[in-house]
Chains A and B, each alone.
Chain A
Amino acid sequence: MLEIQNLCYSVDNEGSRKDIIKNVSLTLEDNKFYVITGPNGSGKSTMAKLIAGIEKPSSGKIIFDGTDITDMSITDRAKAGISFAFQQPVRFKGITVKDLINLAAGDEKLSTASACEFLSEVGLCARDYINREINASLSGGELKRIEIAVTLARSAKFSLFDEPEAGIDLWSFNNLIKVFEKLHDVTHGSIMIISHQEKIINIADEIILIANGELVKKGTKEEVLPLLTGTQSFSCKYTNE
């Protein structure tokens, strides 16, 4: 279980303070599938980075399975079971897809066949990709799928995905939905996806709506969707926050 208590995050904006996250409190239960949504610039990606430890909150606490992780490093949070698929995956010269999958799985000797299964799940022909370097020769969509495969390999207690659908337009959307459903079944952990896509929202147990750095509503689709229609950029999936 992940508990976010009175979380605030502000940055210095040319001498004046800008509040990005404003006193957000949330409880995310085990084995649940959450979608966090809201307009561009509402603070969704920042929330994910605060949970993964990439950014440090100005105040407030994050409790994971009863342990206060607010001051923990990225590494220790990862080891504790928090996994994070980036919105914009990172390229590495010389590091292969297999290297990252093995690292994510925590098994250097993971067989190629097992590593390939993760790639097949995200719709990539494993044989063509497993030994590829994660460098500029891969397209944005390929990188995005590899990022998801790597996160699947982690099989973590808490998996965060920042706009996983962005950039993989040509891939059958239903497959992506199946990937998340399977992840939900297999890992018995919580999943939190930042998304603007209605199809992803439809399979969530609960929706978290954030606007202007504040929690607007957490609840079922039926409870939250009516509030969503009022936020102007909801239907756009090509956002970069």
Chain B
Amino acid sequence: MDQIQKNLLAEVADLHEIPTGAYNIRSNGEGAGRRSTENIEIVTKTDKSGIDINIKPGTVRESVHIPVIISETGLSECVYNDFYIGEGSDVTIIAGCGIHNCGDQKSQHDGIHTFYVGKNAKVRYVEKHYGEGDGNGDIVLNPQTIVHLEEGSYMEMDSVQIKGVDSTIRVTKGDVAANATFIVKEKIMTHGHQLAETDFQVELNGENSNTNVVSRSVARDESKQIFKSYIAGNNKCHGHSECDAIIMDNAKVDAIPGLSANSVDASLIHEAAIGKIAGEQLVKLMTLGLTESEAEAMIVNGFLK
């Protein structure tokens, strides 16, 4: 693996060496390393591109790393990864995609991740997207995450895209059974002429099901962001979504919330706030010795922390 690839791995998965536990590294469309463990088995799909990750029931405090890196220009791929998370397990899954494009052709990775989270299982899923390279070719990432949460299960998804992705349409769909919880935290920063579209769709089907979708984003330069969220409450349930965006320069942000209450006991809330950095925040930090641009950077970094 060359230095560019190593750097991408560090950016998307904080990996500086071979991770402990199970992992699968995909580099330029091919497998670049894999390890299954006693409880976590990674198998190549036979019908299409991608892998199955089978986690045995009762597996606790184990992790799986499945980073994808692309350093060739003009490479486009669509990969299907399915996660079968056994009953009562408690695991961390670290995905992420980094693209280095120094050529003139588009590089694109579309990852379709489906999670089958077993009864009372707990999953923390971390997904980081990153692009770099000084070529004219676009960097495109279109992740889809489909989550099926069984009774009493819990999934927390942290999704981060801070830099370098020209175009992204990210779709997250979830169906939540009784006493299960689905938490999504998204952080996005767009710059230049980038486009980022986020589309959340959560169906709260079971009694006492729960979801909290929180998006924080910063749109700068000429970039455009679209935030869509739709929560359907089909039972006694709790749903909350929040979109909080800082808009700068000539950027544009749309927030399109949707709530659908199909049960008298459904409790659903949406909050959306879009605005520029408050002048008084800049002034306060300037009275502590920062220049205006340093103050702006501190506010943005804090907001996306």
Contact = CB atoms under 8 A, between A and B. Distances in A.
Given A90-B280, A92-B281, A78 B287 contact: yes
A106 interface: yes
Interface string B277-296: 01011011111111110000
B281 to A, nearest CB: 5
A169 to B, nearest CB: 24
A82 B280 CA distance: 17
Q: Which of A89, A93, A104, A150 has the most CB of B within 10 A?
A: A93
Contacts of A114: none
A210 B298 CA distance: 37
Contacts of B287: 52, 54, 74, 78, 82-84
Contact of B302 (A73, A74, A94, A104): A94
B39 to A, nearest CB: 35
B302 A93 contact: yes
Interface stretch (A20-28, A95-103, A171-179, A216-224): A95-103
Interface string A204-233: 000000000000000000000000000000
A6 interface: no
A interface, over-half SS:
mixed
Given A75-B292, A93-B244, A86 B302 contact: no
Chain B CB within 10 Å — which of A73, A90, A104 has the most? A90
Given A92-B302, A93-B302, A103 B284 contact: no
Most buried by B among A52, A89, A94: A94
Interface of A: 52, 54, 73-75, 78-79, 82-84, 86, 89-90, 92-96, 99-100, 103-104, 106, 150, 154
20 contacts: A73-B286, A74-B286, A74-B287, A75-B286, A75-B292, A78-B286, A78-B288, A84-B287, A86-B284, A90-B283, A90-B284, A93-B302, A94-B302, A94-B305, A95-B299, A99-B298, A100-B288, A103-B288, A103-B298, A150-B288
Interface of B: 216, 244, 278, 280-281, 283-292, 298-299, 301-305
